Structure 1
């Protein structure tokens, strides 16, 4: 039934506007956006009918209808451009409202912008780690209009002048100059006439797709603060590694030779001015490899470096949080007392395709008459209740969802609401009542005598449990020794092979490990003082702590030995005129890496077993 309705809508549209004519159309297609195709068509439209035309219909080929993310239109006038309303009638048909209507016999120039996502694909889909990425896409060489087009041409802008092969596929005439490919001009194009063109070209930029983006905002009238958290699930949809094989050695050498690839090593996040209290975490925990540049007047910038390079077919999830002053985004109408919040729908990562985007805005408790104004049609828009600490009636939460989102949706939305001044007292009253109740409970508890008579002798089980806790905390510190050595070694590889700095870091790690050993010996001595003879549990603890001391020292020795081997390897690469070493030495490094990894895994396994034995 729905399919029949769509057919009727399209048929009626064809009959209602058959008298419009595209006098001249010039379409520019930009594919420099790494997987995002932006098309802008400037068309002069003439009304050959006797009645005014109130709308102009934009058609999209059915084959690419699912990839259309954004359609906008404007009309040129003497005083500049004026935006026109666009309504999606069917998946392949958009209606542009002509305001004022186009008078019979007159013409007007329309600018129609269309954004396609995930239309570009890598070809081949898999490549070797050092191989350059090639992309492919295809469109109708004509503007695919249901009106007769007297004259038109299409100009495609590529990211580079490098294309695969010498033949440009598409209806003649076709010409190429640098990174620009021109199709046409063509004359007397029939309605919905189709003749595809395709381009196969080089582009080493990653095709970044956000599988899901969740933005959460929470307002605080008390603190005059707007807290923002953004959750990203990022996917590199570029050419994947062949057989999923990744070589850390080839990756390190490519950084010296500056070889091109579609790998992502760093992401730039644009934050609002005056953004503060920022942190960046992924699924594992806090990530320190980020750089934040704050500005009070311009956009603040955060460069984040994932834990691993993001090659084609790889994913990375993280979230970052920041605060901004609420008065920069919230205004109050002095006449009505109504508040209006204006924020952007899009996140802070640009030039990406977002498959699923969700914005949640938590308003203050007691907000009433909530209204939302959107400059686009959302897939879903609801208002729910949200409860957090010390809430009594819950907070209104606006949830807006939209699929297939591009940068063009980085537009402000408005959320307005009423907030009586008396609601500011709700939280202090709740907090005061809670504190008073806790005070009364504390006074009652203080009058109770719950003391236990102590015979003056330490309980061996209590002492053992205390030392087990101390050993656990000490091993956490011991683990940080190796993290510090690894971090200093990574800085050594990426910051000019500074051996002096590496030596200082190793000395600090050795001293820190000595302090860890002293703590472990102290715990063992305390338990030994209880008298371990005849007590298997106490004896196992003392012996286990001694084994841990030896394994920690052995592990540091193996890590330093492996790093020295890699240092010599990198110095040889740097000294080589071409930055290369022979394959035997590369194989030797790979073998050394495998042996060291196995040894460290064996030590870690022993440490885990001993730790479990002495702490359970």
Structure 2
């Protein structure tokens, strides 16, 4: 009997240990409380930008080194970026994680610089950027109609912790508001809706927030970017981008009238006539072309910190319309390529600024290194998908140039950050191409000499005989 009781006790203890290990400590107990939350939701562009200023309180008796952030199940695939800062404006590390008891929401763990001591509070700012969260309604409009969109969110701050008080401000950038949800207390002033203050909100509480309003900002979505970076140790780095772009706003209903578009300034209010692309300040040899050739309607302006391109497609982009073009330029290698002996470091942007409030579905970056490069290591500021390394063959190559490729999905302007690529390259190999050129010219001249000295004629004339 005693052995049976001992087995039951051991089994029960094992179940308790497994259960506790499956849940993060922040959810096992209720030490953390959102003392106050102040949210601001920016709906003035095609992106949804949410900033939450959270005052966390530790009601337990032990320090807390991290806390969890949750995103609603219906919005987790639209989340492009999540960043966190403390009261001293220091960036906090954000780590994706999961919770066994809550498989549907998306969770992230925020690691604090300084632990929250018992009975103390900490101020944290959380910034979210969501793509494809605004739906055109109606989905089709005529050339003279204005574009109306709908946003669906949450009246409450979605969190795994209890929220004692919360206030939300929604900014739309337009005074034309068709309809909005009215969870009291609520007020509308010009283009701003204020919700709250709401008190004593339970964890994981959801209540639909909806806004139907006018939004004629550019709804441009880059569906694919193929970015090729070719590195040369002779002082130049060539960059070429092939871009597929789509107007994801309300589709154009009926035919397009060029006459009405040029005569009426209100015609095609939601269409995109041009947009500004920013390149590095040292960019030279810029070209911009589509399948028909060079697009001469674009303009370039050289500034101190960037080269500004005013890209104007051959036709204005209405809802449902697409464009495809290639943009290329050169930059000096000494600004981005560093070396010590045979060790090299390439530090460049993973993606450039295409237009304000840009939304990119997918970017594929391909880096072509000089022939003979080895020990290649890539470091990126955020997770990427690394593809299989290949070889690129071009002139004066023997074995081929190592090619590294990786991709990233759902990008916004905040993803304009530098990656680092380290590799080894014996500097003696820089003589390979000049030697190949010399050998080729030597063989060419030798063949010419042999050709002019040999007589390949079958019959010799009489004058030659004499």
Any conservation in 2 of the 1:380–1:400 contact (CA below 8 Å)?
yes
Any conservation in 2 of the 1:374–1:413 contact (CA below 8 Å)?
yes
Aligned match for 1:114, one of 128, 131, 150? 128
Any conservation in 1 of the 2:143–2:267 contact (CA below 8 Å)?
no
Other-structure match for 1:549: none
Alignment TM-score, normalising by the size of structure 2: 0.88
Secondary structure of 1:249's aligned partner: helix
Other-structure match for 2:65: 54
Aligned match for 1:251, one of 255, 258, 261? 261
Q: Does 1:357 align with 2:363?
A: yes
Instruction: Work out the CA distance in 2 between the residues paired with 1:299 and 1:61.
Output: 38
Q: Does 1:104 align with 2:118?
A: yes
Other-structure match for 2:329: 322
Structural mapping, 1:92-241, within 5 Å: 92-165=106-179, 168-222=180-234, 224-241=235-252
Other-structure match for 1:331: 338
Aligned match for 1:16, one of 3, 20, 28? 28
Instruction: State the Cα distance separating 1:441 from its structure 2 match.
Output: 3.1
Other-structure match for 1:562: none
Q: Does 1:284 align with 2:296?
A: no
Q: Deviations over 1:268-287 (max 9, x none)?
A: 11111021111111122222
Aligned match for 1:437, one of 432, 435, 443? 443
Any conservation in 2 of the 1:358–1:402 contact (CA below 8 Å)?
yes
Q: Deviations over 1:448-468 (max 9, x none)?
A: 668999xxxxxxxxxxxxxxx
Any conservation in 1 of the 2:56–2:123 contact (CA below 8 Å)?
yes
Any conservation in 1 of the 2:84–2:92 contact (CA below 8 Å)?
yes
Instruction: Work out the CA distance in 2 between the residues paired with 1:401 and 1:170.
Output: 42
Instruction: Work out the CA distance in 2 between the residues paired with 1:204 and 1:176.
Output: 20
Q: Which one has a larger percent helix, Structure 1 or Structure 2?
A: 1
Q: Deviations over 1:341-369 (max 9, x none)?
A: 21111233032211111111212222232
Gaps of 5+ in 1: 1-6, 454-616
Aligned match for 2:97, one of 89, 98, 102? 89
Higher-RCO chain (CA-CA 8 Å, sequence separation at least 6): 2
Instruction: Work out the CA distance in 2 between the residues paired with 1:234 and 1:9.
Output: 46
Alignment TM-score, normalising by the size of structure 1: 0.67
Aligned match for 1:403, one of 399, 406, 409? 409
For the structure 1 residues 301 and 441, does the alpha-carbon distance in structure 2 shift closer, same or farther, using more than 3 Å as the test?
Answer: same
Q: Deviations over 1:57-81 (max 9, x none)?
A: 11110011110011111211xxx22
Q: Does 1:343 align with 2:351?
A: no
The structure that has the greater radius of gyration is 1
Instruction: Work out the CA distance in 2 between the residues paired with 1:338 and 1:146.
Output: 47
For the structure 1 residues 439 and 16, does the alpha-carbon distance in structure 2 shift closer, same or farther, using more than 3 Å as the test?
Answer: farther
Q: Deviations over 1:384-426 (max 9, x none)?
A: 3322211123222221210111111001111122222212112
Q: Which one has a larger percent strand, Structure 1 or Structure 2?
A: 2
Secondary structure of 2:178's aligned partner: coil
Instruction: Work out the CA distance in 2 between the residues paired with 1:445 and 1:160.
Output: 80
Number of equivalenced pairs: 434
Q: Does 1:302 align with 2:309?
A: yes
Report the more deviating stretch, 324-333 or 133-142: 324-333
Task: Please tell me the root mean square deviation across aligned C-alpha atoms, in Å.
Answer: 2.3
For the structure 1 residues 280 and 448, does the alpha-carbon distance in structure 2 shift closer, same or farther, using more than 3 Å as the test?
Answer: farther
Gaps of 5+ in 2: 1-18, 99-104, 460-466
Q: Does 1:27 align with 2:33?
A: no
Q: Deviations over 1:481-528 (max 9, x none)?
A: xxxxxxxxxxxxxxxxxxxxxxxxxxxxxxxxxxxxxxxxxxxxxxxx
Secondary structure of 2:442's aligned partner: helix
Any conservation in 1 of the 2:242–2:326 contact (CA below 8 Å)?
yes
For the structure 1 residues 24 and 440, does the alpha-carbon distance in structure 2 shift closer, same or farther, using more than 3 Å as the test?
Answer: same
Any conservation in 2 of the 1:42–1:111 contact (CA below 8 Å)?
yes
Instruction: Work out the CA distance in 1 between the residues paired with 2:457 and 2:158.
Output: 87
Report the more deviating stretch, 8-17 or 227-236: 8-17
Secondary structure of 1:187's aligned partner: strand
Instruction: Work out the CA distance in 2 between the residues paired with 1:37 and 1:322.
Output: 32
Instruction: State the Cα distance separating 1:189 from its structure 2 match.
Output: 0.5
Secondary structure of 2:206's aligned partner: coil
Instruction: State the Cα distance separating 1:330 from its structure 2 match.
Output: 1.7
